[in-house]
Amino acid sequence: MLVATLLTNPAAPSLDGALVESLRNAWGGGDVVWLNSDEAAEFPVVEMPVNRWDVWADLQGMGVDLILQPIEGRRKKMLLADMDSTMIQQECIDELADEAGFGERVKDITARAMNGELDFDGALLERVGLLKGLDEAVIDQVLNTRITLMPGGRELVATMRAAGGYAALVSGGFTAFTAQVAERLGFDENRANTLLSENGHLTGDVKRPILGRQAKVESLERITARLGIAEADVIAVGDGANDLGMLGRAGTGVALHAKPAVAEQCDIRINHGDLSALLYVQGYARPDFVSA
């Protein structure tokens, strides 16, 4: 048995009940359950509709995300999340580079790397090299003035942890940022790359080994083994090419506002909702959400 979930941007909820009923009837679905009025609803279906992606494309034009997945086992025991453009709305290295005067150049490299056009490790080293000589104090300045949390993140982490789940933040970014973001959002642990510095200034390099695509997969393997849970018990979320490994291995892999080349490789794509969509996908209703 499968479940079809439809959701919209909670900042401007616009899910039409007639639309949900029409799709339920077309697919021979069961009773509709509203997870939140005008924002998210679901209904069971017996088998995967043959026109799934055609309907998905049509709904995208209406500002609606559509997810189809097995009902059994969809509520997960662990959240594994990327940070940049996922748990926060920015790319930290782009913001640092902007302070250093290389913003546009680095932003272009970041976009190409996240879309899978460039080798992640090489692109990271190239961008970090441009930060050489930058005062370490700029990190706190960027954190305090430029970094904003992705909507729904606090509720996502708090709700899953309240249900006994574990939350890990695993980023190809930097520990100077993940430590603070993890603390703000209530993650149990965080992993990322370490920017190297000397005499209060960045050296233009990072500590080895570099945490990239494979390291995120290894984090999934090691944390689940330590917790004694299966990889199928994990919901992972990310937006870049370096996230594809963990998104493919996790029980539920969510491409959140992802680069096109990344989204097309994932069955669950959230383009209109925010991080609260990951709770709706697991069957939580808005009254079940825990405020951080």
d(CA 51, CA 141): 49
Rg (CA), the chain: 20
* Strand extents, DSSP E, 72-141: 78-81
**How far apart (Å, rounded) are the C-alpha atoms in residues 260 and 139?**
30
Active-site annotation holds for 135: no
Q: How far apart are CA 117 and CA 105, in angstroms?
A: 15
Q: Which of 65, 84, 121, 274 is catalytic?
A: 84
123, containing H or E segment? helix 120-129
Q: Is 239 a catalytic residue?
A: no
Token code pair at residue 254 = 């969510």
As a whole number of angstroms, the distance between CA 186 and CA 292 comes to 8
Helix (H, G, I), strand (E, B) or coil at 54: helix
Q: Residues 16, 38, 82, 135: which is the catalytic one?
A: 82
Query: Which residues have a catalytic role annotated?
Result: 82, 84
